[in-house]
Amino acid sequence: MSTIDDRSSTIDAGTAYGMASGTYDCDLAEVGPGTPMGELLRRYWHPIGLGEDATDVPCAVRVLGEDLILYRDRSGTTGLMYPRCTHRGTSLLYARVDDAGLRCCYHGWAFDTEGRCTDQPCEPGNGRQRDRFRQPWYPTAERYGLVWAYLGPPERKPLLPRYSTFEDLADGEQLFTDDRNIGSGRYFRGDVPFNWFQHYENILDAAHFLWLHFYHSGPQFGSRYGEFDDLETPPWEKLTGQTFDTTQTGVAGTRRYTIPDGRLLRTVTECVLPTIRGVSNPFGEPGPGDSLGFVLPVDDTHFRIFTVLRGADRSFFERIASLRPDGDPPPERAQRFPGDWEAQGSQGAITLHSEEHLATSDRGVRMLRRLFREQIDVVASGGDPINLAFGADADLIEIACGQFFDDVG
């Protein structure tokens, strides 16, 4: 038998033997009550459903790790309730809407949209002490076709913001909504099964946009203006004109590229806090972006995306849908032509940050993480994070994303 020394001439380097287990960064990944990111996110209004999801048949929603019940009362007001009836714990999913509000099926206790008990039909005098009971609730509001909720500390509740993208509609323009997770790489109603932040930071990952969607599996988004027809030039050369900036509202990435006809195309993509996707319309005309996506962190390992579109019709949604048909592709096809779903989802339900090796092309990702960590610290030290308005004159958030030919009017 040989000795250890004999063997050492061919010892393998860099094998996986003895690797430490990877870990994820709790601050970036966890969204439940009391977590640093969870408390930051709870300082903002989040869309939790389309307007039409709130009806007289209660609807279960999950938001930031909390199970809740969304409904609409007879006056048309939306309500969002802790699901367990404060009486005996039966779910208000089985409650009915009547003139008293939302009424539990088990013993008939009824509540208004702010959780006040309005009737106890099995208690003497219909509940002479019913004012002592309150169903835990959250405030809701409707805007842009979405139902929004605020799950944070009541004394810090901001105004429901407006976004420049959806204000001052021209004649013939309307707003349209979609809840099929546009931007996730598949197009369906339901939860995307991995952590929201590894999706969200991908928006500022300019390198993946070129590599994954054009060089590897592409073209996955058409090749507007012919800017990506050339796959001979290495992508890093095309990325040299890329800059990232922390703005008043988030982080923006700006790509400048000379298209084949000689014009300089400037594309602005941005992450606006808390969870807004500001991405150009791949089928759209030059100009400001005509839609925004709102990522809803369902819990640590699931998210949804609601999209609001400004335009003449909803054809944009259907063009997107046709790129990535509903349903799971056959496994080998997903392997041969992966998209965002595969690239981000295969990082795991929560990616392992300890195993990453960020490079120069990840600087947008790095800036976004830094901004979130700063805002987490602001909240932890008692302050208000960015993009909150407490006076009506400050409730408009300016959105910068879009695609522009700067030499054009």
Least distance CB 62 / its own copies (angstroms): 13
In three-state secondary structure terms, 88 is: coil
Least distance CB 84 / its own copies (angstroms): 6
The smaller minimum CB distance to its own copies, of residues 56 and 406, is found at 56
Least distance CB 171 / its own copies (angstroms): 35
The smaller minimum CB distance to its own copies, of residues 76 and 125, is found at 125
CA 309 – CA 283 distance, rounded (Å): 13
Using alpha carbons, list the distances in angstroms from residue 272 to 142, 296, 367, 401.
Answer: 20, 13, 13, 10
The smaller minimum CB distance to its own copies, of residues 243 and 346, is found at 346
The smaller minimum CB distance to its own copies, of residues 154 and 262, is found at 154
- The dihedrals phi and psi of 275, each to the nearest 5 degrees, come to -145, 25
CA 309 – CA 326 distance, rounded (Å): 20
CA 241 – CA 225 distance, rounded (Å): 17
Least distance CB 305 / its own copies (angstroms): 20
* Burial label, 400 (beta-carbon count in 10 A; 0-12, 13-18, 19+): buried
* Burial label, 189 (beta-carbon count in 10 A; 0-12, 13-18, 19+): exposed
Least distance CB 54 / its own copies (angstroms): 14
Least distance CB 370 / its own copies (angstroms): 17
Q: What is the dihedral of CA 316, 318, 319, 325, to 10 degrees?
A: 140
The smaller minimum CB distance to its own copies, of residues 169 and 215, is found at 215
The smaller minimum CB distance to its own copies, of residues 172 and 391, is found at 391
CA 277 – CA 294 distance, rounded (Å): 6
Least distance CB 271 / its own copies (angstroms): 17
Let me know: does 179 contact 185? Beta carbons within 8 Å.
Answer: no
The smaller minimum CB distance to its own copies, of residues 246 and 361, is found at 361
Q: Prior bond to 193 cis, omega within 30? A: no
